[in-house]
Amino acid sequence: MQTNKKYLKSLLPRKKIQCHGQTIKAYQEIKQILRRLYTQTFRRPSTLLISIIQPLIWLVMFGALFQNAPIYLFENYKINYKEFLNPGILIFTAFNSSVNAGLNIVFDREFGFLNRILISPISNKICIVNGSIIHIWTITIMQLTGITIITRNIDQNLNLTNLSTSLIIISTVIFSISNISIYSAFILPGHIEFIGITALFLNLPTLFSSTALAPLSFMPNWLQIICCINPLTYAIEIIRNISLNNIFHLQAFIIHKSWIQINGYQSIVILFTTNIISFVLVRNIIQYKYDKN
């Protein structure tokens, strides 16, 4: 009997092997979700083309409209409007692409495909979110690279540190906005409500309540307060400082007003805090609706 018990215990799987198996399974699930999303994207190349053309239109139209307006954003710099506008267009492109990250989930809900994924033996429903975020991140980086090459907005003095900082800042914007978009996709009834909120409530108000198109000194006091609440403002200002300086010092103030002063370190903390909050929101809605067990 003791020999049989020892033999049966030896057949039990170890915890390390089980965890390793779950990790591999989660990787495979994300891989298959990504494969489906990339297939959908490359079957509709017009989507990529339009997403590149739209910010270029903004850049050309606003750049031509205010081409003779000198922008005194910093005390030691006098730049034309096109140089001022470029960082804002890049961040807004990342925002505009990320805000549509939940659209695929909305259509999957309406066509019933999401139910097929949920009843499949998927280890963790959060893989749906992770796959969607990775997909939108790669597509957005491709868009920004294309816009940068077309506009020839490549700094000759760009070093690895500034490039890494820019990539991290843009990635935080993509991750946080994508999470909020996916959260909206799960709680809104359908694509009409989703498109209405993203197009009317998020896109233009968020753009005009940031420093993408104008510096803080051009705004009234009430709009300056809203602008300082908007996390996109800090991402834009960091990228703008990087484009104007060979080395961006995190101790330098990117917002310098009499009633508020925020440097690079504090801006990064604000962006990462927003990112963490968005991840918590999505994880909670996934666990509440689909991972109760």
Query: What pLDDT digit, counting tens, does each position of 168-199 carry?
Result: 888 888 888 888 888 888 887 777 888 777 76
At 289, is the pLDDT very low, low, confident or very high (cuts 50, 70, 90)? low
**Alpha carbons 120 and 101: distance in angstroms, whole number:** 22
Pairing of strands 261-263, 253-256: antiparallel
pLDDT at 75 over 70: no
**Alpha carbons 243 and 84: distance in angstroms, whole number:** 9
User: What is the structure's pLDDT at 23?
Assistant: 64
At 35, is the pLDDT very low, low, confident or very high (cuts 50, 70, 90)? confident
Contact 169, 75 (CB under 8 A): no
pLDDT digits (tens, 9 = 90+) for 253-280: 777 777 778 887 888 888 888 888 888 8
User: What is the structure's pLDDT at 123?
Assistant: 65
Tell me the one-letter amino acid at 104: N
At 106, is the pLDDT very low, low, confident or very high (cuts 50, 70, 90)? confident
pTM here is 0.79
